[in-house]
């Protein structure tokens, strides 16, 4: 029975991905983001069939096993685009750093306006960086790591849908700028969308994700308290 | 035949990328770096490529396959949001609004500043 649920979870997830990927590549509309659509479909299917998140866990472990090597693989487009990086190192660094500082300030200020508790604010602070780092930053600052992980995933989804729309609306069509913006705000999920836009944008997403992770970890202990009650 | 060959190539190149990932994770643990293992592995792989120790052809099929389907890995992770149903029902809209505002600010600041600065440094 367990094996059957496991197989159904893997096949269902892979199937949802393949179908939504086809739909996205055909229409290229940000709201049709394959991660967003697949997640909706899978959650609905789990709810309808009574399969719990704990039952889905073994399938998740297996399916995310290659995320580590996939992130390492980002080194290749980065290497192929090293000329861009070398020539434009100032805009790249300045853009990512400015994006990190502003998105953290915005989330904390908006959170305070909404009257959120200090613990929730601390959990929101690192939401733009990749999960393993965000969770550590949150824990060290006194936030709630599980809550942070959820905020990171939600931000990944929001940025990868809203980001491309906003960038196109503002006529930001330079792939370097688009990749960096998506990677800075939405880490791996933003990078995934950038990769669908093209190799240069994808490589820049990977660069932004790495810089944002290191920079945010370094400044968090000093920067977050500035916006807290 | 060509398909099996391609599959084997992707498989062994993925194993190689996995090895570099484990090395990255190991370095982070030993040196107590403020980095996740996968990002350390990416920087290590970049160093290997830049120094010429690893030639791009040694990983291009595996890397191409993994990056083509990079989005896939975030689906099972996002399904985990299901656990936050009660919190979402209680204050989901407020949290959503906050996350949307801050994502928009970050995308705008990075996107516009890079496009402007990049345009300038290209000239």
Residue A191 pLDDT > 90, yes or no?
yes
Whether the CB of B53 is below 8 Å from some CB of chain A: the reply is no
pLDDT of residue B118: 80
Residue A30 pLDDT > 90, yes or no?
no
Q: How many Å apart are CA B68 and CA A36, to the nearest integer?
A: 17
Contact A72 B24 (CB under 8 A): yes
Of A10-14, A81-85, A150-154, give the lowest mean pLDDT range. A81-85
DSSP 8-state class, residue B56: G
Average pLDDT (B51-76) is: 93
Percentage of chain B beyond pLDDT 70 is 97
DSSP 8-state class, residue B35: S
Neighbours of A101 (CB within 10 A): 16
Q: What is the per-residue pLDDT across A38-53, written as a single tens digit (0 to 9) for each?
A: 999 999 999 999 999 9
Q: Which of A17, A155, A186 sits opposite B72 (nearest CB)?
A: A17
For A118, the 3-state DSSP assignment is: helix
Q: What is the per-residue pLDDT across B93-117, written as a single tens digit (0 to 9) for each?
A: 999 999 999 999 999 999 999 999 8
Q: How many Å apart are CA A93 and CA A102, to the nearest integer?
A: 14
Of A89-98, A147-156, B33-42, give the lowest mean pLDDT range. B33-42
Contact A177 B110 (CB under 8 A): yes
Q: How many Å apart are CA A81 and CA B33, to the nearest integer?
A: 26
* Distances B20 to A132, A176, A205, A211, B6 between C-alpha atoms, Å: 18, 27, 20, 20, 21
pLDDT confidence tier of residue B122, bands split at 50, 70 and 90: low
Mean residue pLDDT across chain A: 92
Name residue, tokens 């370095």: B27
For A51, the 3-state DSSP assignment is: coil
Length of chain B: 123
- A78 CB neighbours in chain B (<8 A) are 42, 46
Q: What is the per-residue pLDDT across A104-142, written as a single tens digit (0 to 9) for each?
A: 999 999 999 999 999 999 999 999 998 888 888 888 888
Average pLDDT (A162-167) is: 96
Question: Angle at the Cα of A182 (from A9 to B95), degrees rounded to 5?
Answer: 70
Q: Which of A92, A188, A209 sits opposite B74 (nearest CB)?
A: A188
pLDDT of residue B123: 45
pLDDT of residue A70: 92
Listed residue (B111, B121, B103, B46) closest to A175, CA to CA: B111
Neighbours of A174 (CB within 10 A): 21
Residue A102 pLDDT > 80, yes or no?
yes
Q: How many Å apart are CA A23 and CA A192, to the nearest integer?
A: 16
Average pLDDT (B6-13) is: 95
pLDDT of residue A63: 94
Whether the CB of A95 is below 8 Å from some CB of chain B: the reply is yes
pLDDT of residue B49: 97
pLDDT of residue B120: 64
């Amino acid at each position: 029975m367990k094996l059957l649920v496991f197989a159904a979870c893997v096949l269902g997830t892979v199937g949802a991905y393949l179908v939504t990927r086809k739909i996205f590549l055909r229409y290229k509309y940000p709201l049709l983001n394959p991660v967003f659509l697949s997640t909706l479909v899978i959650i609905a299917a789990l709810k309808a069939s009574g399969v719990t998140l704990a039952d889905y866990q073994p399938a998740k472990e297996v399916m995310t096993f290659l995320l580590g090597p996939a992130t390492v693989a980002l080194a290749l487009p980065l290497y192929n685009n090293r000329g861009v990086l070398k020539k434009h190192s100032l805009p790249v660094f300045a853009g990512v750093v400015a994006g990190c500082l502003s998105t953290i300030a915005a989330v904390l200020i908006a959170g305070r306006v909404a009257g959120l508790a200090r613990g929730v604010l601390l959990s929101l602070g690192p939401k733009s960086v990749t999960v393993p780092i965000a969770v550590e930053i949150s824990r060290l600052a006194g936030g709630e790591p599980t809550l942070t992980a959820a905020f990171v995933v939600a931000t990944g989804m929001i940025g990868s849908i809203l980001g491309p729309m906003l960038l196109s609306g503002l006529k930001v069509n330079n792939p370097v700028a688009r990749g960096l913006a998506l990677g800075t705000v939405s880490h791996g999920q933003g990078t995934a969308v950038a990769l669908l836009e093209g190799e240069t944008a994808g490589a820049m997403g990977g660069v932004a994700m790495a810089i944002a992770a290191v920079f945010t970890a370094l400044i968090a202990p000093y920067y977050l308290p500035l916006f807290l009650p | 035949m060509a398909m099996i060959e391609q599959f084997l190539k992707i498989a062994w190149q993925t194993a190689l990328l996995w090895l570099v990932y484990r090395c990255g994770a190991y370095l982070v643990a030993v040196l107590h770096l403020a980095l996740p293992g996968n990002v350390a592995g990416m920087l290590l792989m970049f160093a290997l490529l830049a120094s010429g120790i690893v030639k791009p052809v040694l990983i291009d099929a595996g890397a191409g396959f993994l990056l083509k389907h990079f989005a896939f890995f975030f689906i099972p992770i996002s399904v985990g949001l299901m656990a936050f149903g009660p919190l979402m029902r209680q204050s989901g809209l407020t949290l959503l609004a906050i996350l949307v505002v801050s994502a928009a600010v970050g995308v705008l600041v990075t996107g516009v500043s890079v496009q402007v600065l990049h345009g300038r440094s290209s000239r």
